[in-house]
Amino acid sequence: MRRLLVSTASRGVEPGLSSREQRGARDMTSEPEDRELNFTTAECAHAALVVSLVGPIVPALAQALAPRTEVVLHNLTAMPNTIAAIGGAITGREVGGPPTDLGLRSFKEGQTDHWLRYSTELPDGLKMRSSSIYFHAPSGKPVACLCLNADITALHQAQEILAGLTATDMPGVEPGVAEPMETFADSIENLSEGVLSRAIEAVGVPVELMKKVHKYAVTEDLNRRGFFALRGAVDQAAHELGVSRHTIYNYLNELQGEHDGDM
């Protein structure tokens, strides 16, 4: 069975600890979420088959769906460098790049149903209509994903103009603007920084004023978002929250215990 490691950070223990304490530290650093990120040899082979069959037609598919449609094929067994093929690039990503934050969260949550016709937005304001179509191994586990991102900025602007011309709302009242469901990163570093900053913002307390309950909540949110599937995620979270990496592992073990208790 192939194992996808959640973090490549060193798992050494602090000097000066007794042998019993060292064994406890090693137990704390055994990432509880590793079990959720395993793919069997057969599942990896199925993903490779999908990439070999679908990958070559990705550029042609992007041309067929032109203008301004990006097609991206992800190999989920290669997490976090999932992009196996890309055509009609709109988001600035390349082969070997990471998934989006939505893709990462879907991977963590074991998403199996297709995501169709949802709205996404790039940092420069470009608006897209996206769909994520999963390929499943015979086991039922999703191992690859084909994503279609169509630039609908011009259509969206036309829609806003028409809405303005036909609006009967009272002046001075702005309708709420929904937060984009998905954001795009051109590197693993940018992806992890974005996921971490959104999790911290969601708690609503500055890091310097956070207590344990707040930092635990951030860790829980990061775990839900699939953040710890990224390399160095534990160290990065520990640095941003001002705690030790062992504290993060403790939080994750507590979360795993709560999850096991619900089963």
Question: Cβ(237)–Cβ(220) under 8 Å?
Answer: no
Is the pLDDT at 86 greater than 70, yes or no? yes
Question: Cβ(182)–Cβ(130) under 8 Å?
Answer: yes
Average the pLDDT over 118-145 and give the result. Answer: 93
Is the pLDDT at 186 greater than 50, yes or no? yes
Question: Cβ(198)–Cβ(191) under 8 Å?
Answer: no
Question: pLDDT band at 257, cuts 50/70/90?
Answer: confident
Gap between the Cα atoms of 94 and 19, Å rounded: 47
| Beta carbons within 10 angstroms of residue 60's beta carbon | 11
CB under 8 Å to 135, separation ≥6 — which residues? 46, 47, 50, 54, 142, 143, 144, 145, 146
* pLDDT recorded at residue 180: 58
* pLDDT recorded at residue 263: 53
pLDDT in tens, 198-215: 999 999 999 999 999 999
Is the pLDDT at 229 greater than 60, yes or no? yes
Average the pLDDT over 211-230 and give the result. Answer: 95
Between residues 174 and 48, the one the model is more confident about: 48
Token pair 């449609």 in the structure block, residue: 69
pLDDT in tens, 155-183: 878 888 888 887 665 555 444 444 556 77
pLDDT in tens, 232-241: 999 999 999 9
Token pair 């939505």 in the structure block, residue: 102
Report the Cα–Cα distance between both ends of the chain, in Å, rounded. Answer: 25
Average the pLDDT over 101-118 and give the result. Answer: 87
Summary mean pLDDT of the chain: 82
Three-state helix/strand/coil letters over the chain: CEECCCCCCCCCCCCCCCHHHHHHHHHHCCCHHHHHHEECHHHHHHHHHHHHHHHHHHHHHHHHCCCCEEEEEEEHHHCCCCEEEEECCCCCCCCCCCCCHHHHHHHHHCCCCCEEEEEEECCCCCEEEEEEEEEECCCCCEEEEEEEEEECHHHHHHHHHHHHHHCCCCCCCCCCCCCCCCCCCCCHHHHHHHHHHHHHHHHCCCHHHCCHHHHHHHHHHHHHCCHHHCCCHHHHHHHHHCCCHHHHHHHHHHHHHHHHHHC
Gap between the Cα atoms of 61 and 75, Å rounded: 18
Tokens of 45: 């082979």
* pLDDT recorded at residue 106: 86
Say how many CA atoms lie within 13 Å of 161 toward its Cβ.
6
AA identity, residue 259: H
Average the pLDDT over 180-207 and give the result. Answer: 89
Percent of the chain whose pLDDT exceeds 90: 60
Tokens of 124: 């420069």
Cis peptide leading into residue 80 (ω within 30°): yes
Between residues 29 and 60, the one the model is more confident about: 60
